C-alpha cells in the first residue's frame, strides 16, 4: 500500500503543547516507561556502549491518539511483546500503526508482533525497499546458529505496507505525528517522528545519545546534512534510538562527531598515512566525556569514513539522487570469473586519481593511453577499457570483459561490435542529470519569460525595444517528461518544485516517484501530448525513439505548448519542427540537441523567433565531471571485486 505524502486525520479536539524538559527528568532505569508529554510515552531500552551483551533493542515511544496508538520502532520480537504489554498499562486503545525508523533488526524485526494485532507498518520508501529486498536473507541469518536470536527464529518478517517518500502525517486533533525523511544518515531509509505540538523529535539511530553509532550502512557526509536539517526544528526533547532522553544539544554533538572524524581521517590520508596508522591518531577528548568511550576505539567508524574518502564503499548519492543502479554483469560467483589484471585508462588522468584507483585495485596494472589509436594498440591483453568506448578499441582488445563509456551515448558501430562479444558495456547516464535538468529549465524559462525576445538595443534612445511578448507562469501548468531516467527524474523534481503537474512516459515504467502525478509506458505518447503545456524529451536515442516527435505528434500538441529537447537530436524530425514553428502550431522550442548537430549557420531553427538553441551545454559542469569520476572509480572497485557494475547498457 502506497500513500500520498501526507495523510491527515482530523478532529476538533486539542491538547495543550506541554512537554517535560530533558533536564527535569531523573535518570531512568532499563525497561522503565515515562510519560514525557500528554499521551506520549518513552520506554528506555537496556544498552551499554562497553558491553553489548546488555542489549534490549531500541528505545520505544508510543503516542496515544483519540482512538488509537502509534508505536515508534518495532524493536526485536521479544521486546516488541514487552512494548505491547507496556502500552496496555497506559491505555486501552488499540495499536493501529508501528513505525520503523529504519530497517535494522532492533528497530524492525518485531513488525510481526504488531501486525498480528492488526497494525499497519509505516516506513520511508528506502527502508521499505531494504526490508523487502534484503530483509528475508538478513532476517534468517539473525536467527541462525548458536548466536542467533530465538525470538527471531520463532517469528516472521513483516514488511511495511504504509510507505512514504518525504513526509507522512497523522493528525486527529488530539495528537500530531509527522514522519519525516531528512536524508541518508545511519541508513538510506532513516526517518524520524516529529511531534510539533510537544517539540519532541524521535530520531531512531539517526541520532543516538552515547557511543552507539554504527556506520556500516551510512553516508557520513549526508548524515551531517540530515542532522543540520533536524536542527531547524523547534525541539524541546529528543527521544533517541539508543541512550537516555536529552535536549536538542544532542544533534550538535552527533554532528560534531562526524565532522571531526571526517576532518581527522581526511588529514591523515592527505599526509600519506595508512589506515592502521590512522586509527590510534583519532583524538576527541570531548567524545569520551559524552559517551564514556574513546573515539579511537570506535574502529569500525574510522574504517568506514576512511573507505568513504578513498572510494572503497558505494557512493550512496549515485543511487539515491541520480537514479544509477547496478545491472546484469558477471560476478565472482559466475563460472570462469577471474580477477582482472590489466585496465586501459586515459593518460590524462591526474596522479591523484590514478592513486585512488591503485588504492582500490593494488594488484591491477593501469595502462595509460593518449588517444583512441594508442588505446587500440595497448588493449590487446586488457581485461577492461575505461573511457575509450569505440569499435576499433573493442575489436583490438581480445581479452576485454568490460568497457566503460565516457557518456550516456554509444559510439557509431560499437553496438554491432559488442553484439558479437560477451563484453559488458557501462555508460555514465544519470551523472549528468542535474546539469541536463538545469539546462532544460534554462531553455524553458527563456521561452516562457521572454528572455529570447527581450534584448537591450545598444545606442537606442530607449534601451529596451518594444515587444508584444507576454511572460507566462509555470505554476499549475502540465509537463510531460518523456524518459524518466536520471535526467528525466531530475527534470520532474524541478517541475514539481515549480508547482507543475508532472506526467511521465518511460519504456520500462519504473516505480512512480512522488514528484510525478502519473507514469505511463511510451506507447501512451499520443494520448498525453494534448494535455501537456510543456513536453520535455529526455529519453535515449534508439531505433524505437528515432523520430519520436514528428509532424503527427507536433500537430497533437497544444498551440501554446513548448517542446524542450535535452535528449538527442534524432528524437525530433527537424523538418517537421521547422514547419510547426513557422506555422505557429506550437508556441516554441528549446533545443540543446539538434539533428544535424551542430546546425549549419543559416539553418532556419537558428533564425526562428520562437526557438532557443544552445550548443550541448546540458552535459557541461565541473560538478558532473566529479560525479562521472566517482562512477568510474566505483565501477573499477566493483569490477576487481567481482560485483555487479553500475549503469550496465542493455545490448539487446
Tens of pLDDT, residue by residue over 152-182, are: 999 999 999 999 989 999 999 999 999 999 9
pLDDT band with cut points at 50, 70 and 90 for residue 466: low
Question: Smallest Cα–Cα separation from 223: which of 175, 265, 190, 247?
Answer: 190
Average the pLDDT over 463-474 and give the result.
74
| Lowest mean pLDDT across 140-144, 398-402, 625-629 | 625-629
Task: Look at residue 262 and tell me whether its pLDDT is greater than 50.
Answer: yes
**Alpha carbon separation from 343 to 339, 353, 378, 379 (Å, rounded):** 12, 14, 10, 8
Instruction: Give the separation between CA 400 and CA 415, rounded to whole angstroms.
Output: 15
- pLDDT of residue 286 exceeding 50, the answer is yes
| Residue 91, H or E segment | none
Pick from 362, 360, 431, 367: which is nearest to 400 by CA? 367
Question: Does 440 fall in a domain?
Answer: yes
Q: For residues 555-567, give the mean pLDDT.
A: 96
Instruction: List the strands of the sheet with 588-591, edge to edge.
Output: 518-520, 501-505, 478-482, 534-537, 562-565, 588-591, 611-613
Bridge pairing between strands 478-482 and 501-505: parallel
- C-alpha to C-alpha distance for 369 and 376, rounded to whole angstroms: 9
The answer to whether position 651 is within a domain reads: no
Q: Mark which of 228, 247, 266 sits at the end of a domain.
A: 247
Mean pLDDT of 607-634: 88
Cell numbers 506541554: residue = 18
Residues 62, 121, single domain; the answer is yes
Residues 6+ apart with CB under 8 A from 276: none
Residues 399-412, mean pLDDT to the nearest whole number: 77
Q: Which three cell numbers stand for residue 640?
A: 576487481
Condensed to tens digits (0 to 9), the pLDDT of residues 510-540 reads 678 889 999 999 999 999 999 999 999 998 8
Residue 91 lies in a domain: yes
In this prediction, residue 12 carries a pLDDT of 26
- The reply to whether 406 and 490 lie within a common domain is no
> Are 45 and 193 found together in one domain?
yes
Whether 82 and 173 share a structural domain: yes
> Domain for residue 160, yes or no?
yes
With bands split at pLDDT 50, 70 and 90, how would you rate the model's confidence at 16?
A: very low
Question: Is the distance from CB of 324 to CB of 645 less than 8 angstroms?
Answer: no
* Cα–Cα dist 109/635, whole Å: 33
Structure confidence at residue 1 (pLDDT): 34
3-class secondary-structure state, position 62? strand
Range of the domain at 199: 22-247
| pLDDT confidence of residue 420 | 76
* Shared-domain flag, residues 55 and 134: yes
If pLDDT is split at 50, 70 and 90, which confidence band does 22 have? Answer: low
Task: Report the distance separating Cα 32 and Cα 46, nearest Å.
Answer: 10
Number of domains in the chain: 4
In the Cβ-directed half-sphere of 522, how many Cα atoms lie within 13 Å? 17
**Do 406 and 628 form a contact (C-beta atoms < 8 A)?**
yes
Among 227, 247, 267, the domain-final residue is 247
Residue 644 vs residue 27, higher pLDDT: 644
Do residue 31 and residue 134 come from a single domain? yes
Closest alpha carbon to 534 in 601, 445, 600, 597? 445
CATH of the domain at 389: 3.40.50.720
Residue 11 lies in a domain: no
Residue 511 has what DSSP assignment? P
Looking up cell 562527531, which residue turns up?
Answer: 257
Query: Any bridge partners for residue 482, and if so which?
Result: 505, 537
pLDDT value of position 471: 87
Q: What is the pLDDT of residue 510?
A: 63
Spatial separation of the C-alpha atoms in residues 437 and 471, rounded to whole Å:
21
Say if residue 402 is in the same domain as residue 527. Answer: no
Do 102 and 214 fall into the same domain? yes
Residues 207 and 65 in one domain: yes
Pairing of strands 518-520, 534-537: unpaired
Does the structure show a pLDDT above 80 at 650? Answer: no
Residue 430: which residues within 8 A CB-CB, separation 6 or more?
A: 318, 322, 323, 324, 408, 485, 486, 487, 631, 647
Residue 509 has a pLDDT of 60
**How large is the average pLDDT for residues 225-239?**
97
Residue 6's pLDDT is 35
Q: What percent of the chain shows pLDDT beyond 70? A: 91
Lowest average pLDDT, out of 261-270, 304-313, 620-629, goes to 620-629
Plot region of 273 (φ>0 → left; ψ -120 to 50 → alpha; else → beta): beta
Has residue 454 got a pLDDT over 90? no
Distances (CA, A) of 540 to 197, 264, 407, 603: 49, 43, 12, 25
Of the residues 310, 329, 357, the one at which a domain ends: 310
Among 74-88, 154-168, 180-194, 400-414, where is mean pLDDT lowest? Answer: 400-414
pLDDT at 543 over 60: yes
Which among 112, 73, 123, 120 is positioned nearest to 94, based on CA atoms? Answer: 120
pLDDT band, very low/low/confident/very high, at 7 (cuts 50, 70, 90): very low
* Nearest of 129, 127, 121 to residue 98 by alpha carbon: 121
Q: Does residue 128 share a domain with residue 109? A: yes
Instruction: Residue 94: give its domain's CATH number.
Output: 3.60.15.10
Task: Answer positive or negative: Cα dihedral of 32, 38, 39, 42.
Answer: negative
Signed CA dihedral, 249, 251, 252, 254: sign only: positive
Residue 649 forms part of a structural domain: no
Residue 466 lies in a domain: yes
Q: Looking at residue 2, what is its pLDDT?
A: 36
H helices within 159-284, ranges in order? Answer: 220-230, 249-270, 275-278
Q: State the chain's mean pLDDT as an integer.
A: 89
511 and 552 in a single domain? The answer is yes
Residue 441 has pLDDT above 70, yes or no: yes
Sheet holding 40-43, edge to edge: 33-37, 40-43, 60-64, 69-72, 95-99, 120-124, 162-164
Cβ contacts of 433 within 8 Å, gap of 6 or more = 322, 323, 485, 486, 487, 489, 490
Q: Which of 558, 502, 501, 500 is nearest to 529 (CA)?
A: 558
Integer Cα distance of 68 and 80 in angstroms: 17
Neighbours of 260 (CB within 10 A): 16
Confidence of residue 474 (pLDDT cuts 50, 70, 90): very high
Question: Is residue 646 included in any domain, yes or no?
Answer: no
Question: Quick one: what percent of the chain has pLDDT higher than 90?
Answer: 71
pLDDT of residue 15: 34
Q: What is the 3-state secondary structure (H, E, C) of 335-385?
A: CCCCCCCEEEEECCCCHHHHHHHHHHCCCCEEEEECCHHHHHHHCCCCCEE
* Residue 10 in this model has a pLDDT that exceeds 60: no
Q: Where are the beta strands (DSSP E) in 53-174?
A: 60-64, 69-72, 95-99, 120-124, 162-164, 167-171
Residue 248 pLDDT level (bands cut at 50, 70, 90) = very high
First vs last Cα of the chain: how many Å apart? 34
The three-class DSSP label of residue 108 is: helix
**Does residue 465 sit in the same domain as residue 575?**
yes
Amino acid at each position: 500500500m502506497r500513500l500520498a505524502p501526507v495523510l491527515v486525520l482530523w478532529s476538533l479536539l486539542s491538547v495543550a503543547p506541554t512537554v517535560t524538559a530533558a533536564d527535569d527528568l531523573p535518570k531512568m532505569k532499563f525497561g522503565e516507561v515515562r510519560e514525557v508529554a500528554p499521551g506520549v510515552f518513552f520506554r528506555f531500552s537496556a544498552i551499554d556502549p562497553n558491553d553489548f551483551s546488555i542489549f534490549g533493542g531500541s528505545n520505544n515511544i508510543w503516542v496515544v491518539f483519540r482512538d488509537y496508538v502509534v508505536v515508534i520502532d518495532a524493536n526485536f520480537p521479544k521486546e516488541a511483546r514487552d512494548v505491547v504489554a507496556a502500552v496496555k498499562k497506559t491505555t486501552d486503545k488499540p495499536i493501529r500503526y508501528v513505525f520503523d525508523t529504519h530497517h535494522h533488526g532492533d528497530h524492525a524485526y518485531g513488525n510481526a508482533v504488531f501486525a498480528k494485532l492488526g497494525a499497519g507498518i509505516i516506513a520511508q520508501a528506502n527502508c521499505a525497499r531494504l526490508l523487502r529486498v534484503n530483509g528475508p536473507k538478513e532476517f534468517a541469518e539473525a536467527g541462525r546458529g548458536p548466536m542467533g536470536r530465538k525470538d527471531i527464529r520463532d517469528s516472521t518478517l513483516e514488511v511495511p505496507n504504509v510507505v512514504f517518500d518525504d513526509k507522512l502525517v497523522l493528525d486527529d486533533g488530539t495528537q500530531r505525528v509527522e514522519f519525516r525523511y531528512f536524508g541518508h544518515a545511519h541508513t538510506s531509509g532513516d526517518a524520524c517522528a516529529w511531534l510539533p505540538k510537544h517539540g519532541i523529535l524521535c530520531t531512531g539511530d539517526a541520532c543516538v545519545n552515547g557511543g552507539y553509532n554504527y556506520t556500516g550502512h551510512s553516508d557520513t557526509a549526508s548524515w551531517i546534512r540530515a542532522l543540520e536539517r533536524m536542527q531547524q526544528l523547534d525541539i524541546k526533547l529528543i527521544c533517541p534510538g539508543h541512550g537516555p532522553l536529552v535536549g536538542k544539544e544532542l544533534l550538535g554533538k552527533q554532528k560534531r562527531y562526524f565532522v571531526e572524524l571526517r576532518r581527522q581521517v581526511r588529514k591523515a590520508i592527505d599526509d600519506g598515512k595508512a589506515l592502521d596508522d590512522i586509527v590510534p591518531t583519532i583524538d576527541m577528548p570531548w567524545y569520551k566525556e559524552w559517551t564514556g568511550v574513546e573515539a579511537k576505539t570506535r574502529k569500525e567508524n574510522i574504517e568506514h569514513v576512511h573507505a568513504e574518502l578513498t572510494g572503497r564503499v558505494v557512493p550512496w548519492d549515485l543511487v539515491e539522487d541520480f537514479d544509477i543502479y547496478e545491472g546484469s554483469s558477471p560476478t565472482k560467483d559466475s563460472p570462469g570469473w577471474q580477477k582482472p589484471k590489466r585496465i586501459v585508462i586515459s593518460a590524462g588522468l591526474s596522479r591523484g586519481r590514478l592513486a585512488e584507483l591503485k588504492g582500490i585495485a593494488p594488484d591491477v596494472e593501469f595502462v595509460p593511453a593518449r588517444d583512441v589509436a594508442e588505446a587500440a594498440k595497448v588493449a590487446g591483453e586488457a581485461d577492461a577499457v575505461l573511457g575509450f568506448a569505440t569499435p576499433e578499441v573493442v575489436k583490438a582488445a581480445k581479452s576485454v570483459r568490460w568497457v566503460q563509456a565516457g557518456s550516456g551515448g554509444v559510439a557509431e558501430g560499437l553496438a554491432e561490435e559488442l553484439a558479437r562479444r560477451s563484453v559488458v558495456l557501462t555508460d555514465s547516464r544519470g551523472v549528468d542529470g542535474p546539469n541536463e535538468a538545469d539546462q532544460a529549465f534554462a531553455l524553458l524559462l527563456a521561452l516562457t519569460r521572454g528572455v529570447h525576445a527581450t534584448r537591450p538595443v545598444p545606442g537606442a534612445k530607449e534601451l529596451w525595444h518594444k515587444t508584444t511578448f507576454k511572460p507566462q507562469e509555470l505554476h499549475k501548468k502540465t509537463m510531460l517528461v518523456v524518459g524518466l531516467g536520471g535526467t528525466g527524474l531530475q527534470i520532474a523534481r524541478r517541475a514539481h518544485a515549480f508547482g507543475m503537474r508532472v506526467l511521465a512516459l518511460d519504456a520500462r515504467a519504473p516505480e512512480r516517484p512522488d514528484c510525478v502525478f502519473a507514469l505511463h509506458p511510451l506507447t501512451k505518447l499520443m494520448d498525453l501530448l494534448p494535455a501537456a503545456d510543456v513536453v520535455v524529451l529526455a529519453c535515449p536515442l534508439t531505433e524505437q525513439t528515432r523520430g519520436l516527435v514528428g509532424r503527427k505528434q507536433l500537430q497533437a500538441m497544444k498551440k501554446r505548448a513548448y517542446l524542450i529537447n535535452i535528449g538527442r537530436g534524432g528524437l525530433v524530425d527537424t523538418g517537421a519542427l521547422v514547419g510547426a514553428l513557422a506555422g505557429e502550431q506550437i508556441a516554441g522550442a528549446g533545443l540543446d540537441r539538434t539533428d544535424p548537430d551542430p546546425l549549419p549557420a543559416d539553418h532556419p531553427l537558428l533564425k526562428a523567433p520562437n526557438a532557443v538553441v544552445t550548443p550541448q551545454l546540458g552535459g557541461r559542469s565541473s560538478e558532473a565531471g566529479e560525479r562521472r569520476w566517482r562512477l568510474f572509480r566505483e565501477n573499477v572497485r566493483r569490477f576487481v571485486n567481482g560485483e555487479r557494475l553500475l549503469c550496465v547498457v542493455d545490448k539487446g
